[in-house]
């Protein structure tokens, strides 16, 4: 019962936040610089042609009416048509979201176990050479922007050592095993930043548990260090990492926008930038809202999962 109330409250907060985000996104897109109607008909169009285009695009109606129609269409699955590509938005966004999800899942499958192992190893050997190397490497990963690390990877592994392709657009008909090489460099670029955040949090949590009184008591009772670490320290120390890993989705999405454009990967990040540059309002609105929904749902999943494994959190959150 307590868990159900906890999930219901978090879900309500998420839905209200998404509604607020949809309003903000709609308003911000409407005030983008440049006349969308003139962009649609060309810079040499007459004022009459521009006025006709504004009417066809619905730009002559009040903002409240346009938002209501847009929100109703979004909820019903009618996401309109891309002004630039002259194609329905829904299948277009669906394909790019699918491709971004593939890249994100591969990156998570690589970085999460590597970061957990790296953070635990650094904590168990704190102050030693391995700890310094992993900690310094993580800090460099956080400090270096994805654009810089992506260009460095292309320079080294595509130009100096032509091992991997600089473009991650997979040609049609490429065998499954040959597709792997197209993901190596973008996954590596995403891993640099995520490794720094996750491994440092894991290290800090495990170090805190190693310094706790119950660990000293367990050691004094005769339990081996390996037993104490495996049965007690890791179970308690990795608990905060659940939220950290889930919250890295926001950093991952931000990184995807950069990495996908650098490596020419056909994901939602590339679609977002192209729609913004071309002022493709229907496509831009849906893309931004989809990304916001992914971020909110990942935070919701982190809260629910953390509340499930930590009863004190859900009891405190569900209490009036």
Q: Map out the domains of the chain as residue ranges.
A: 89-277
Over residues 60-64, mean pLDDT: 78
Statement: residue 320 has pLDDT above 60: no
> Tokens 């931004």 appear where?
288
pLDDT at 316: 54
Statement: residue 146 has pLDDT above 90: no
Give residue 43's pLDDT band: very low, low, confident or very high (50, 70, 90).
low
pLDDT at 236: 75
- Inter-residue contact 275 to 80 (CB < 8 Å): no
CATH class in words for 89-277: mainly alpha
Q: Which residues contact 218 (CB under 8 A, 6 or more apart)?
A: 228, 232
Over residues 195-218, mean pLDDT: 83
Between CA 90 and CA 74 the distance in angstroms is: 9
Higher pLDDT, 50 or 159: 159
pLDDT at 156: 92
Statement: residue 130 has pLDDT above 70: yes
Higher pLDDT, 42 or 81: 81
Over residues 195-209, mean pLDDT: 86
- CA-closest candidate to residue 277, choices 32, 27, 28: 32
Higher pLDDT, 312 or 269: 269
pLDDT at 319: 52
Of 105-119, 187-201, 214-228, 276-290, the poorest mean pLDDT is in 214-228
User: DSSP secondary structure string, 49-84?
Assistant: HHHHHHHHHTTTS-HHHHHHHHHHHHHHT---B-TT
Residue 85, SS3 per DSSP: coil
Tokens of 139: 């800090």
- Inter-residue contact 126 to 205 (CB < 8 Å): no
Higher pLDDT, 57 or 136: 136
pLDDT at 282: 84
pLDDT at 309: 62
Statement: residue 220 has pLDDT above 80: no
Structure confidence by residue, pLDDT tens digits, 263-285: 999 999 889 888 888 878 888 88
Is the Cα dihedral 26, 32, 36, 39 positive or negative?
negative
Structure confidence by residue, pLDDT tens digits, 5-25: 777 888 888 888 888 888 888
pLDDT at 153: 92
Residue-averaged pLDDT of the chain: 81
pLDDT at 40: 67
Over residues 98-112, mean pLDDT: 90
User: What does the buried/exposed string (b/e) look like for 183-192 if buried means 16 or more CB atoms within 10 Å of the residue's CB?
Assistant: bbbbbbbbbb
């Amino acid at each position: 019962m307590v868990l159900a109330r906890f999930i219901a409250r978090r879900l309500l907060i998420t839905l209200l936040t998404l509604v607020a985000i949809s309003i903000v996104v709609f308003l911000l897109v409407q005030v983008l610089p440049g006349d969308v109607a003139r962009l649609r008909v060309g810079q040499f169009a007459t004022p009459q042609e521009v006025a006709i285009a504004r009417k066809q695009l619905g730009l002559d109606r009040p903002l409240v009416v346009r938002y209501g129609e847009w929100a109703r269409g979004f909820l019903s699955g009618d996401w309109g048509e891309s002004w630039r590509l002259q194609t329905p938005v829904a299948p277009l966004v669906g394909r790019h979201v699918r491709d971004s999800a593939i890249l994100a899942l591969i990156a998570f499958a690589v970085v999460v176990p590597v970061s957990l192992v790296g953070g635990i190893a650094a904590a168990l050997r704190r102050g030693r050479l391995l700890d310094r190397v992993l900690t310094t490497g993580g800090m460099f990963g956080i400090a270096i922007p994805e654009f810089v690390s992506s260009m460095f990877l292309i320079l080294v592994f595509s130009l100096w050592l032509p091992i991997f392709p600089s473009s991650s657009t997979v040609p049609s008909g490429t065998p499954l095993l040959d597709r792997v090489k197209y993901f190596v460099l973008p996954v590596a670029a995403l891993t640099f930043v995520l490794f720094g955040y996750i491994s440092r949090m894991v290290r800090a949590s495990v170090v805190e548990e190693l310094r706790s009184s119950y660990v000293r008591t367990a050691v004094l009772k005769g339990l081996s260090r390996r037993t104490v670490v495996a049965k007690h320290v890791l179970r308690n120390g990795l608990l905060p990492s659940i939220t950290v890993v889930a919250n890295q989705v926001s950093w991952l999405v931000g990184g995807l926008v950069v990495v996908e454009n650098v490596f020419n990967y056909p994901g939602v990040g590339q679609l977002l930038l192209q729609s913004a540059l071309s002022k493709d309002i229907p496509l831009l609105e849906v893309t931004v809202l989809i990304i916001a929904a992914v971020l909110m749902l990942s935070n919701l999943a982190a809260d629910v999962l953390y509340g499930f494994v930590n009863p004190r959190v859900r009891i405190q959150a569900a209490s009036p």
